[in-house]
Amino acid sequence: MKLPLLLAALLLSAPPALADDFLYMVCEMKGTETTMTLPSGQVISEGPLVVNSLRVKIDLKEQKMRSHKDPVWAVISVKGNQIIQNTQINDGGITGHISGFMPLNPPGPASINNWFKRGSEYQVIRGNGQCQEIDPSAWNAQS
Pair 125, 32: CB distance under 8 Å: yes
Confidence at 54, pLDDT banded by 50, 70, 90:
confident
Q: What is the pLDDT of residue 142?
A: 60
Tell me: pLDDT of 65 over 60: yes
d(CA 143, CA 24): 12
Q: What is the CATH number of domain 19-142?
A: 2.40.160
N residues, the chain: 143
Confidence at 52, pLDDT banded by 50, 70, 90:
confident
Burial class of 102 by CB neighbour count within 10 A (0 to 12, 13 to 18, 19+) = buried
In the chain, where are the structural domains located? 19-142
Confidence at 25, pLDDT banded by 50, 70, 90:
very high
Across the strands, what pairs with 109?
130
Mean pLDDT across 49-60: 89
Q: pLDDT: is 76 or 70 the higher one?
A: 76
Confidence at 143, pLDDT banded by 50, 70, 90:
low
